[in-house]
Amino acid sequence: MTGPITLSSASLRCDIKPELGGCIAGLWLGELPVLRSTPASELTSVRLAGSYPLVPFSNRVGHATLKWQGTSHPLVQNNGPEPHAIHGLGWQRPWQVLDQDDQLLMLACEHRADASWPFAFDASQSFRLSGNTLELTLSMTNQAATPAPAGLGWHPYFVKRPGSRVAFEATGRWEMSDEKLPTHREPSRGLDADCAAMDVDHCFDGWSGMVHLRDEKMYTRITSSLNRLVVFTNTSRNFVAIEPVSHVNNAINLVQAGAGRAEDLGVQVLAPGESMSVHMSIQVERVA
């Protein structure tokens, strides 16, 4: 089994646990945690990680049933008592090391069709530290014999310190039902708000691809090639989840239900052997 791996640059240190969902256990600027951080040797649950990959879908597939091309595929309810399938399956599978050095790590995960997801795929992710920036890529290739839906993203948990403020631009926000599933889209210009009082668990679309997160100790800039963003926090949480994603929550089922077009909801369909790849970076600096 692969053990914990530490990457380091002049400014940052990143602990990764390939065997625990290919997750980031912690990211530190000096001794100051950027993400919710635990030394990798001490982390035992991916649900307490600093970040984990979302593949082959993000957020929820409603009632753990994937509706695709006229067929309903029951999925595993993979988050305790919650009735949905959530965050894909990459975060619950071990990843293998492809390459590594002091500032670079490349991981891979192979999935064969099973009850968690009915389509085979290969996934890879890379982590690179450069100065005060962590660069991430996440890719997947459809290994099924038929076209298959695909989605990617990340689920980083940023530390919510006193004075934390998040700001980003978007064009829409998906409202949520009591079941934590999207109901409809409302126009939205994004957020520019103090994190302490926020109560949000929504997917924003038309995202500009950049988020500014600032508190009394640190300024963080999150950028991504993706144009949708899930933000989750409330007054009981000591983190702000800022999640670049490729599609709206439960998007595949929304398309199949006629609630929107695939291209508007971010659903990608990969032909056999076709791939998709996405990027995210986290750049941090101390507040003087």
- Which whole number is the average pLDDT over 146-159? 98
Kindly report, residue by residue over 19-62, the tens digit of the pLDDT.
999 999 999 999 999 999 999 999 999 999 999 999 999 999 99
Q: What's the predicted TM-score (pTM) here?
A: 0.97
Where in the chain are the domains? Answer: 5-286
What stretch of H or E contains 67?
strand 65-68
Kindly report, residue by residue over 79-113, the tens digit of the pLDDT.
999 999 999 999 999 999 999 999 999 999 999 99
Q: How distant, in Å, are the alpha carbons of 65, 68, 74, 182, 253 from that of 71?
A: 10, 5, 10, 21, 11
Residue 220 Cα to chain centre, angstroms: 17
The dotted CATH code for 5-286 is: 2.70.98.10
Q: Cα(90)–Cα(56) distance, rounded to whole angstroms?
A: 7
Instruction: Tell me the one-letter amino acid at 201.
Output: D
97-101's contacts with Cβ under 8 Å and 24+ in sequence apart are 97/2, 97/5, 97/18, 98/124, 100/5
